[in-house]
Chain A
Amino acid sequence: MEDYLKDASKAMRYIFWIFFIAFMLLFIHNKPQGFNTIYFTLAFPVLIYIVYRIHIKLFPLGEIDFIILTSFLTEMGLIMIYRVAPDLLIKQIIWILAGFFVYFISSYVSKYYNILYKFKYSEILYLIITFILILSTLIFGREIGGAKNWLTFDGIYIQPAEAAKVIYIIFLAKYLSVKKQTKDIIILGIITILIVSIFAVEKDLGMAFLFYSTTLFLIFIGTSNLIYTSVGIITLVFGTLLSYFLFSHVRIRIQAWLNPWMDVPGKTYQIVQSLFAIGSGGFFGTGLGMGHPEYIPVVSTDFIFAAISEEFGLLGAISLILVYFVIIYRGTKVAIDSKNETGALIAIGLTSMFALQVFTIIGGVIKFIPLTGVTLPFVSYGGSSMVMSFVTLGMLNGISLKEAEDYEQVEPEY
């Protein structure tokens, strides 16, 4: 235990050094207006240090890795956001503060995740909430950047689909741990196709893909049945082909993926700029402030990975992917260690949703798969995504804590 904390505090020390050097450079480069920016910037290392200490105190058996890794990811995000859009820095720091706060709350809540299923029709309730959240944008939503997936309240923009992800997994885990018959799986398939088609109408292809493939993953893990899984994969391929012919926005995305050079100033502008940025980065990057990430569209949210590849180079980008791998590894381990099937399914569902989101956006930006707009968790600018990513990790931490404590205090039996 002691060696473990020694390494953890050393890792935190490196985070502080990276922060110090990067922001010294950026302050010279950006010449901040007013002292507010500087105060908020200095608040960030204090914040992560306090969170690190509190986490050790409150959860000595918890997943301290999550705090270290998210500190690193949010820090890389802050550096890049301050580089490309200095106005958003303060807001992002406030979102990170809110994120750490909900991390602790969801750790405590999911430690007693059985409460979530105490009501009589709780599963159906969660399913209905999911549908309400998804449908709300279709009716009251506002179209930003091609997809109708935003709600606005007095200038605050929220993305309900982010919250729907977690609630849908809470439903799915309970459903699959109880119902495993063919008929139940068919009902689940119909529900999933409904959700996916709502997203398709909203033109939110990233979310549609995430919900579909997470359900598929969970059906495979919950039932270990290869027939359901292969039917699911065939439906995915068939659905993609169908939507290619039905929807023009799907066609554009796939054409831009197959041949990005066909219409550089128009349809394929985003992906081509992203590829140029990644290419000009090279191994060690151009150095902070020396590249041109301002040419990439929507660089502070969807394309932040391209900007990081440009200024930190291939090595920086790989380090980011490795950090995501470690988070996914820890999440999978929580699921494996969990003795309760519902707990294990929640854990693996959250982890696979997280993993697929990272894969979708990084794969899209580097033109490995067709581009769809989802955010890079913890790095991209955006409140909904930041807060819900912290909820995801908080719940994983809670489930792992429950297992650790069950082991320590065994109930007397006779």
Chain B
Amino acid sequence: MFTLASQILKYVLIILIYLFLYRVFKIIYLDIKGVRRERQITKAKLEFLNGEGTYNLFEVTTIGRADDCDIVVESPYVSSKHAIIKKRGKNFVLQDLNSTNGTILNGEKVKKISKLKNGDIILIGDTELKFIL
């Protein structure tokens, strides 16, 4: 009786182990895909109102004075890493990165995370940017 049970269940155990491994590799796959997705270009745009030009947004876009930011704003009032815009599902959210002068969205200071909609005006330091979806 035990022999039979053990003989049958050993196949069940192997199948369960490989289902487990499938899930583990799927987590790894999602992780790798997530990293790549950060650099994907989206349809949303950010327009400099002083006429410096229009930039396409990535899934994750950093804004600041430092050279390694995705959008570099040359101004003494802008912190080196000032703000970040991320895509969450279908929406875009704006987050202030503890900048010295703060980020202002449509006249209101961004405390933590704010949702963006078409035509929003973002004030970073002394530079005005328009969000276009």
Tell me if A99 counts as interface (CB < 8 A to partner B). Answer: no
Are A410 and B81 in touch, CB under 8 angstroms? Answer: yes
Bound together, the chains give a CA A311 to CA B17 distance in angstroms of 14
Interface size classification for chain A? 35 or more
Query: By the criterion of a CB under 8 Å from any partner CB, how many residues of chain B are at the interface?
Result: 32
Binds A, one of B19-27, B40-48, B50-58, B114-122: B19-27
Are A287 and B30 in touch, CB under 8 angstroms? Answer: no
Q: Which residues of A contact B81 (CB under 8 A)?
A: 410, 413
Binds B, one of A215-223, A292-300, A314-322, A373-381: A314-322
Are B14 and A287 in touch, CB under 8 angstroms? Answer: no
Are B14 and A15 in touch, CB under 8 angstroms? Answer: no
Tell me if A140 counts as interface (CB < 8 A to partner B). Answer: no
Bound together, the chains give a CA A315 to CA B13 distance in angstroms of 11
The secondary-structure label for the interface of chain A is helix
Tell me if A17 counts as interface (CB < 8 A to partner B). Answer: yes
Q: Which residues of A contact B21 (CB under 8 A)?
A: 319, 322-323
Q: Which residues of A contact B23 (CB under 8 A)?
A: 7-8, 10-11, 14
Neighbour of B27 across the interface among A7, A409, A414, CB < 8 A: A7
Are B3 and A290 in touch, CB under 8 angstroms? Answer: yes
Neighbour of A285 across the interface among B10, B26, B28, CB < 8 A: B10
Are B27 and A65 in touch, CB under 8 angstroms? Answer: yes
Residues of chain A from 385 to 414 with CB closer than 8 A to chain B in the complex: 409-414
Bound together, the chains give a CA A413 to CA B5 distance in angstroms of 67
Bound together, the chains give a CA A345 to CA B24 distance in angstroms of 26
Nearest CB on B from A240, distance (A):
36
Bound together, the chains give a CA A191 to CA B17 distance in angstroms of 44
Are A411 and B98 in touch, CB under 8 angstroms? Answer: yes
Binds B, one of A22-30, A35-43, A113-121, A260-268: A22-30
Known: A284-B11, A288-B6. A319 touches B17 (CB 8 A): yes
**Complex: chain B residue closest to A289, CB-CB:** B6
Nearest CB on B from A141, distance (A):
39
Bound together, the chains give a CA A165 to CA B70 distance in angstroms of 42
Nearest CB on B from A46, distance (A):
19
Which 6 pairs between the two chains have the least Cβ-Cβ distance?
A287-B6, A11-B23, A14-B20, A410-B81, A287-B10, A413-B80
Q: Chain A: residues with CB nearer than 8 A to chain B? A: 3-4, 7-8, 10-11, 14-15, 17-18, 21-22, 25, 28-29, 64-65, 68-69, 72, 284-290, 311-313, 315-316, 319, 322-323, 326, 329, 409-414
